[in-house]
Amino acid sequence: MLGGLTEDLGELVSTGRLFEMKGIGKGLGSALTQAIMEGEWPSDWVELHNSTPQGLIEMLGIPGLGPKRIKLMNEELGVDSVASLKEAATDGLIAPMKGFGKKSQQRMLDGIELLARFRARRRLDVGLMYGEAFQSKIASIEGVIKAQLAGSARRRKETIGDLDVVVAVEDEHHENVAEAILSLPGIADVKGAGDSKISLILDTSIFDGGFTVGHIDPNVLDAIGGDDYEQLESGGTIDAQVRLVTPEVFPFTLAYFTGSKEHNIAMRQRAIDRGLKLNEFGLIPDAKAGDLKGMAAAKFSLKASTEEDIYRHLELDWVSPELREDTGEIVAAETSNLPQLLSGQDIRGALHNHTTLSDGEATLEEMADTARKMGWNWLGIADHSPTLKIANGASAEDLLEQGETIQRYNAAWAKEGTDFRLFHGVESDILEGGKLDHPDDVLSQLDYTVASVHALSKWKARDELQNTEELMQCIDHPSTTVLGHPTGRILQGRDGYEVDLFAVLEHMAEHNEEGRLKAVELNASPYRLDLDWRLCKHAKGLGVPVIINPDAHSIRGLADISYGVMAARKGWIEPHDVLNSLSGEELQRRLS
């Protein structure tokens, strides 16, 4: 609950408004006030906390489960941890208890499942939020020369297991820095603190400005816990491992802990082929180090002041971290064939965005205004179609009226010499038989159509063959321009439906070869990142244009484009592979 606060807690306490908040009674309110004002919790609270078994506190993380029922189950069934609760519920021991029942037993099981999912890995956006906050707190400690996030976060994987941070510090400051790290805010627990490695658990108190999840489109929210989602996310934690090394060793340690493991193995083999030993301490000629190990051997390492130097010693171009997955980057680096990766600056617009006409929070004007402020050259509006009732899908009449408004704006901008334009599209549901959700004569009046699957349960109940077939039929429709969020997956929420995307992309490639634009969306919402980065390279190889779309439901949602750019980079995408890099004028030509 406190994790979900949008106001400063100190402010709430000092004005006394804390007591007006929902769920804060006299007891909790006064305890919090004392904790904030005097820096410590009331002594009976501390005692209670210390005497309460860790397992019972852990159970509070299960959505919808409060202290009263935990206490009851503890007394009657001896349940004392999430694991033992799961066992009791699976054995059907909870349902017969007075005031519980079958439904609440099932809800507990669902809650345990959700909790486990949120504890295991975190989405990229959440992981980066923690990682960047932690990195900058470490960087500002006196004596720290450099602190850098490594691991899967630096490689921009779609989910993060744990954070890895590498810190450069001279030996004489080592101890002080290690101590200062251990006393940073946001540390829920210390798992281990050795000589050069510190293992921690971070929680949301690391965020100076509190932690909020922002607006989530209801379709997505449903898949990630619904009303319980905010509690799950803000009550979550993330593990972090910090390595302290001297500045001379730093580039080697950074490269090693950036990974991936597969990339490291390929690099190490390349070193072996050259009579060198590559590890987290250095790049050491066999002849010099002999049987020496670790730092003792590292004294003889070739020098590297940056990662570039390490790659150069191995006769390679520097490989951008996103590409370090051993999917061909080593050969490309050897032959100077690495891609010139897309960057945020290349983005001039995006096609799939919502307004208040369907389920967006912002008006057409507000969306256009924000896109212009972001330096974009154009913006596409694609509100939901009628079948999607939950997202307030717009009627044909309202859609065409929106089109007239857009034309008026475009005319006005052209007249005053403003180089910005809106494109008018729709996000059409894909219906039975691959049909679109508006009559052809309506669709033909639009600039483009994003065709997306939303009735996921229906598509999940069918087999791969039929789904693939229907997607292809939909793509064949002359009005279909973009295939939206191609699998429907929600990260940590649900898998997508079964589909042979290789076949679908090949089908799209045939259309493109014949001059009909069929683009595949890389949905940039960090909840989706769908098309998966692993398939971007395939789309690129086939010559199917990719369009990165924030699927924005608010002005803030437009900023999600950055996660799409990260995923695209990871998928080897260059500026000319995406429609986003075109000017409004060029795109207009491609769409007509």
Shortest distance in whole angstroms from residue 190 CB to Ca ion:
15
131 binds Ca ion (CB under 5 A): no
Q: Determine if 191 is a binding residue for ligand DGT (CB under 6 A).
A: no
428 binds ligand DGT (CB under 6 A): no
Least separation in angstroms between residue 503's CB and ligand DGT is: 30
467 interacts with ligand DGT by CB under 6 A: no
Tell me which residue has tokens 């990229």: 124
Nearest distance, CB of residue 519 and ligand DGT, angstroms: 30
Residue, CB closest to Ca ion: 151
- Buried b vs exposed e over 166-183: b needs ≥16 C-beta within 10 Å? bbbbeeebbeebbebbee
562 vs 524: CA distance, rounded Å: 7
Name residues contacting ligand DGT, limited to 257-286 (CB under 6 A): 257, 259-261, 264-265
Question: In 121-260, where does DSSP find H-type helix?
Answer: 124-139, 151-154, 171-182, 218-223, 229-234, 250-258
Nearer Cβ to Zn ion (86/460): 460
Binding site for Zn ion (CB under 5 A): 452
C-beta of residue 492 within 8 angstroms of C-beta of residue 117: yes
Query: CA–CA separation, 308 vs 11, rounded Å?
Result: 48
Comparison of 261 and 293: residue with beta carbon closer to ligand DGT:
261
Spatial contact of 130 and 137, defined as CB atoms under 8 Å apart:
no
Q: Indicate the residue among 265 and 412 with the shorter CB distance to ligand DGT.
A: 265
Of 564, 581, 552, the residue nearest 370 (C-alpha): 552
**Span near ligand DGT by CB under 6 A; candidates 189-197, 256-264, 339-347, 354-362:** 256-264
Residue 184 · residue 526 · CB < 8 Å:
no
524 neighbors 512 (Cβ within 8 angstroms)? no
234 binds, among ligand DGT, Ca ion, Zn ion, none (CB under 5 to 8 A by kind): none
Say whether 236 sits in a helix, a strand or coil. coil
Judged by CB under 5 A, does residue 135 bind Ca ion?
A: no
Binding mask 134-163 vs ligand DGT (x if CB under 6 A, - otherwise)?
Answer: -----------------xx----x--xxx-
Residue 452 touches which member of Ca ion, Zn ion, ligand DGT, none, C-beta under 5-8 Å by kind: Zn ion
Q: Indicate which single residue of 13, 63, 79, 162 sits in contact with Ca ion (rule: CB under 5 A).
A: 162
Name the minimum Å distance from CB 341 to Zn ion. 27
Write out the binding residues for Ca ion, residues 230-259 only, by CB under 5 A: 241
Give residues with Cβ within 8 angstroms of 430, minimum separation 6.
436, 437, 451, 452, 453, 470, 471, 474
261 is in the binding site of which of Zn ion, ligand DGT, Ca ion, none (Cβ under 5 to 8 A by kind)?
Answer: ligand DGT
Q: Which is nearer to ligand DGT, 323 or 351 (CB)?
A: 323
Strand locations in 346-475 (E): 378-384, 421-429, 448-452
Distance in Å, CB of 456 to Zn ion, minimum: 11
DSSP 246-267: -TTTHHHHHHHHH--HHHHHHH
Instruction: Report the C-alpha dihedral over residues 345, 351, 356, 360, rounded to 10 degrees.
Output: -70
List the single partner that 260 binds among Zn ion, Ca ion, ligand DGT, none, CB under 5 to 8 Å by kind. ligand DGT
Q: Which single residue is written with the structure tokens 């159509």?
A: 449
* 70 makes contact with ligand DGT (CB under 6 A): no
30: its two tokens: 């006064």
| Nearest distance from C-beta of residue 421 to ligand DGT, angstroms | 41
Among 88, 100, 128, 164, binds Ca ion (CB under 5 A): 164
**What is the spatial distance between Cα 23 and Cα 497, in angstroms, rounded to a whole number?**
40
Binding site for Ca ion (CB under 5 A): 151-152, 162, 164, 241
Binding site for ligand DGT (CB under 6 A): 151-152, 157, 160-162, 164, 256-257, 259-261, 264-265
